[in-house]
Amino acid sequence: MALSVSNKEENMVTTEGISGGMKVILNRPRKLNALNYQLIVQMLRMLESHEYDPTIKFIILKGNGKAFCAGGDVTSVMTLTNAGNWSFGANFFRKQYSLDYLLGTYKKPLIAIINGIVMGGGAGLSMHAAFRIVTENTIFAMPEASIGSVPDVGEYVALTGVRLNGIELVQCGLATHFVHSKDLASLENALSMMASSDAKNTTKISEIINKYANERDIKTENANSRLEIINKCFSRETVEDILLALETFAVERNEKWIFDAIKSIKSASPLCIKLALKLVNQNKVNPHKLQVKMS
């Protein structure tokens, strides 16, 4: 049974109780479950209330409709900012990153079912989960730099805005399991039927998910060659050096994805991609203290 956060609020996040756990469902399907301020606040409140509830031993995160979460609701942020409410943007991102932090430190196993679109802020919701399940419908991207914003994770995806499918996400380690969308209902049912004593046991949860995971599809595509080039190029210190390395490989390999990466970087906001790379590099040195000084 779906429950609203509050009778006085629009129901942007719903919950569904299952044996030993809880489903938390993003519920803005017409907006591809994009994160607006109200949704973020509701989800924060909901997850905080469940974290210390002894009857809830694991959480399933999913989206209603054809997207998990298409990222932040840029339209709502810009509309209020352009109307003179300059503090709204700061409050929005403060709440969003508080939600991301809560998910990253959550004391119960999180299972993210990423069936459909997951972009930007949607990655922040799903990538902290211990189990990140993707399907043939999954489309992952960090497109912020192309719209004048600053992405905050991953050199390759952040600087190029490249779209990755479910199989590619498993191959590069961003997802843990590939499950066909037709099997998701059965998987969720199996998880909901776990014995109470198993519901907080990540080994038991993994065993159930593995019964529905399709390793054969993962092995049909080999991303090792691409990953090797990505690691060599995107480990460089500056955007200019990354571009130079990509252009060198483009001459040697003549592969479409390399030319696409070059084109995307050159067409994105120069300031945004430089800031994004600085954030990522700084986080590698000190992951607990991020700050960018503008000279």
Q: Indicate which residue of 121, 122, 161, 166 is catalytic.
A: 121
Instruction: Find tokens 């997850």 and name the residue.
Output: 47
Q: Indicate which residue of 21, 72, 120, 166 is catalytic.
A: 72
**Residue 23, helix vs strand vs coil:** strand
Q: Indicate which residue of 73, 152, 155, 188 is catalytic.
A: 152
183 is catalytic: no
User: Are the C-beta atoms of residues 205 and 131 closer than 8 Å to each other?
Assistant: yes
3-state secondary structure 224-268: HHHHHHHHHHHCCCCHHHHHHHHHHHHHHHCCHHHHHHHHHHHHC
How far apart, in whole angstroms, are the C-alpha atoms of residue 188 and residue 183? 9
How far apart, in whole angstroms, are the C-alpha atoms of residue 209 and residue 189? 11
User: With b meaning 16 or more CB within 10 Å and e meaning fewer, what string describes 35-44?
Assistant: bbbbbbbbbb
How far apart, in whole angstroms, are the C-alpha atoms of residue 275 and residue 256? 26
The helix, strand and coil proportions of the chain, stated in percent and rounded to the nearest 5, come to 50, 15, 35
152 is catalytic: yes
Q: Indicate which residue of 100, 144, 155, 188 is catalytic.
A: 144
How far apart, in whole angstroms, are the C-alpha atoms of residue 136 and residue 206? 20
- Report CA dihedral (34, 37, 42, 45) to the nearest 10 degrees: 130
240 is catalytic: no
Q: Which helix (H) or strand (E) element contains residue 204?
A: helix 202-212
Query: What tokens does 251 get?
Result: 């001459």
72 is catalytic: yes
Q: Give the catalytic positions in this structure.
A: 72, 121, 144, 152
